[in-house]
Homo-oligomer: A and B are copies of this chain.
């Protein structure tokens, strides 16, 4: 009886931490959604600071990073593979043609809807399983290289760029 309750209590810990990480992830996404509601088209085309990245580049960058979670977690192919070259492997100044702001806003909504559709179904064991950028052998030695860790790091990364995007807001 005691042993069963031990297992249950620790099990809850593992599910609890997944909920904590998902809440943080959803909170960050919601905050970007609120910025999307608030900023004008002109704001998005401005630079976050003189000579730095534009808002539209950072939005595309965040979409491409989130889109990459689909293959990384074995959930499917990227929805927008064309965004990688413009927003991940090239700087804002590349001169490569960017999708319109309206298109990017749709991509942002759709990629997060796709991800969250999978995320709500994933078990704690799946979250603690390896992602596709680590081999099975390496994962035995480095069990922190799991999907949950990637989600936590992506949340931190998104917040980094949100700290920049809020600068687009006019006082």
Contact residues of A with B, CB < 8 Å? 3, 6-7, 10-14, 16-17, 19-21, 23-24, 28, 48-52, 124, 128, 143-144, 148-149, 152-153, 155-157, 159-164, 167, 171
A143-B49 contact, Cβ under 8 Å, with A10-B10, A152-B152, A167-B164: no
A24 B152 Cβ-Cβ under 8 A? yes
CB distance from A53 to the nearest CB of B (A): 10
For the complex, what is the distance from the CA of A23 to the CA of B150, rounded to whole Å? 12
- Can you list 8 pairs linking A and B with CB atoms under 8 Å apart? A3-B3, A7-B10, A10-B13, A10-B14, A20-B149, A51-B171, A156-B156, A164-B164
B49 A167 Cβ-Cβ under 8 A? yes
For the complex, what is the distance from the CA of A14 to the CA of B20, rounded to whole Å? 13
Q: Which residues on the B side are within 8 Å of A21 (C-beta)?
A: 152
B171 A19 Cβ-Cβ under 8 A? no
For the complex, what is the distance from the CA of A128 to the CA of B156, rounded to whole Å? 21
Q: Which residues on the B side are within 8 Å of A17 (C-beta)?
A: 14, 17, 148
Residue of B nearest to A144 (CB): B20
B163 A16 Cβ-Cβ under 8 A? no
